[in-house]
């Protein structure tokens, strides 16, 4: 993955100027630039990126085109802004995607710290096995399987809580 902070420092000004030359206002260019770098954080490219600068500028250009399309539709609606405000986007926001990825990384690190037997109980439960089935396959009483699951969940919750502090 790339260092988005470094890329932002390097291309922020150029990207805003590029968007301004394409007709965006200063405010819109700033918004599109931020959205571009947010996409870098949250959306993995479909393939290898040989030229990061070109990828960044293409992303900004695509966002600019999407915005222009939305704005062209608004005049056809009497209350276009109201309609847009009421539309519900089922997709998670880029911020939510980023937070979820960070939380998953924290959980994976915390799960990697758990000893093998409790981890296997936890993963078996995630796969839908009952505590009885887990106990039988692990050779432990059902209550032990349950208590191991609880301990792993408490460990994961503590890891998330520490990260949020």
Domains and CATH numbers, the chain: 4-86 (no CATH), 94-164 (1.10.10)
Is 131 in contact with 89 (CB distance < 8 Å)? no
Percent of the chain with pLDDT over 90: 44
Q: What is the pLDDT of residue 49?
A: 83
Is 106 in contact with 159 (CB distance < 8 Å)? yes
* Residue 32 CB coordination number (10 Å): 23
Q: What is the mean pLDDT of the chain?
A: 85
Express each pLDDT in 133-163 by its tens digit. 999 998 999 989 998 988 999 999 999 889 8
Is 8 in contact with 60 (CB distance < 8 Å)? no
- Residues 90-96, mean pLDDT to the nearest whole number: 79
Structure tokens, 76: 């056809």
Express each pLDDT in 22-34 by its tens digit. 888 999 999 999 9
Spatial distance between the Cα atoms of 5 and 124, rounded to a whole number of angstroms:
39
Q: What is the pLDDT of residue 11?
A: 93
Identify the burial level of 107 via C-beta atoms within 10 angstroms of its C-beta, where 0-12 means exposed, 13-18 middle and 19 or more buried: middle
6: nearest Cα among 60, 52, 55, 61: 52
Q: What is the pLDDT of residue 84?
A: 58
Q: What is the pLDDT of residue 89?
A: 64
């Amino acid at each position: 993955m790339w260092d988005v902070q470094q890329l932002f420092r390097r291309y922020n000004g150029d990207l805003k100027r590029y968007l301004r030359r394409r007709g965006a206002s200063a405010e819109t260019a700033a918004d599109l630039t931020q959205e571009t770098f947010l996409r870098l954080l949250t959306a993995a490219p479909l393939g290898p990126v040989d030229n990061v600068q070109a990828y960044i500028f293409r992303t900004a250009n695509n966002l600019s085109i999407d915005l222009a399309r939305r704005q062209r539709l608004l005049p056809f609606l009497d209350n276009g802004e109201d309609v847009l405000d009421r539309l519900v986007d089922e997709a998670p926001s880029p911020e939510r995607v980023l937070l979820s990825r960070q939380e998953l990384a924290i959980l994976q690190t915390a799960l990697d710290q758990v000893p093998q037997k409790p981890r296997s109980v936890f993963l078996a439960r995630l796969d839908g096995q009952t505590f009885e089935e887990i106990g039988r396959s692990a050779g432990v009483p059902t209550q032990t399987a349950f208590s191991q699951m609880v301990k792993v969940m408490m460990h994961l919750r503590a890891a998330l809580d520490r990260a949020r502090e």
